[in-house]
Amino acid sequence: MTERIPHDINVDLHMHSSASDGELAPCALVKRAAANGVQMMALTDHDTIAGQKEARREAREHGIDYVCGVEISVTWGGQTLHVVGLNIDPDHDGLNQGLREIQIGREMRAQKIAQSLIDEGLPDLLGPAKSYARNPDLIGRTHFARAMVEAGICPDVNEVFQRYLVPGKPGYVAHQWATLTQAASWIQNSGGVAVLAHPARYRLNAMTQWALFEEFKALGGSAIEVVTGSHTEQEARRYQRVALEHGFSASRGSDFHGPDESRFDVGCVPPLPDATRPVWHDWLR
Ligand code: AMP
Ligand code: MN
Ligand code: MN
Ligand code: MN
Under the banding of pLDDT at 50, 70 and 90, the label for residue 285 is: confident
- φ and ψ of 71, to 5 deg: -120, 110
Closest ligand 1 atom to Cα of 158: 20
Mean pLDDT of 189-206: 97
What share of the chain has pLDDT > 70, as a percent?
A: 98
Chain segment 258-270, per-residue pLDDT in tens? 998 899 999 999 9
- Surrounding ion ligand 4 within 5 Å at CB are 71, 255
Mean pLDDT of 152-169: 97
Mean pLDDT of 20-38: 98
Chain segment 207-237, per-residue pLDDT in tens? 999 999 999 999 999 999 999 999 999 999 9
CA of residue 256 to ligand 2 center, whole Å: 9
User: How confident is the model at residue 3, as a pLDDT?
Assistant: 59
Under the banding of pLDDT at 50, 70 and 90, the label for residue 275 is: confident
Mutate to test the pocket of ligand 1, among 141, 230, 260 (most ligand atoms within 8 A of CB): 141
User: How confident is the model at residue 24, as a pLDDT?
Assistant: 98
What share of the chain has pLDDT > 90, as a percent?
A: 94
Mean of pLDDT over the chain: 96
Query: Residue 143 pLDDT > 60, yes or no?
Result: yes
SS3 172: coil
Chain segment 76-92, per-residue pLDDT in tens? 999 999 999 999 999 99
Under the banding of pLDDT at 50, 70 and 90, the label for residue 4 is: low
* CA–CA separation, 206 and 40 (whole Å): 33
User: How confident is the model at residue 1, as a pLDDT?
Assistant: 45
CA of residue 128 to ligand 4 center, whole Å: 23
User: How confident is the model at residue 10, as a pLDDT?
Assistant: 97
* CA–CA separation, 282 and 38 (whole Å): 18
Query: Residue 67 pLDDT > 80, yes or no?
Result: yes
User: How confident is the model at residue 49, as a pLDDT?
Assistant: 98
Decide: 139 and 127 in contact? Cβ < 8 Å. Answer: no
Decide: 86 and 67 in contact? Cβ < 8 Å. Answer: yes
Decide: 78 and 54 in contact? Cβ < 8 Å. Answer: no
Mean pLDDT of 48-61: 98
Closest ligand 1 atom to Cα of 47: 2
CA of residue 139 to ligand 4 center, whole Å: 14
What is the DSSP secondary structure assignment for residue 84, as one 8-state letter?
E
* CA–CA separation, 86 and 109 (whole Å): 27
Closest ligand 1 atom to Cα of 140: 3
Angle between helices 141-150 and 93-119 (to 10 degrees): 40
User: How confident is the model at residue 7, as a pLDDT?
Assistant: 75
| Ligand 1 neighbourhood includes 228 CB (under 6 angstroms) | no
Mutate to test the pocket of ligand 1, among 17, 142, 228, 256 (most ligand atoms within 8 A of CB): 142
Mean pLDDT of 163-170: 96
Mean pLDDT of 184-212: 97
Other C-beta atoms closer than 10 Å to the C-beta of 79 total: 14
Pairing outcome for strands 79-86 and 193-196: antiparallel
Beta-ladder partners of 31: none
Closest ligand 1 atom to Cα of 261: 21
Does this model's pTM top 0.95? Answer: yes
CA of residue 22 to ligand 3 center, whole Å: 12
CA of residue 254 to ligand 1 center, whole Å: 14
| Ligand 1 neighbourhood includes 252 CB (under 6 angstroms) | no
Closest ligand 1 atom to Cα of 141: 3
* CA–CA separation, 244 and 133 (whole Å): 39
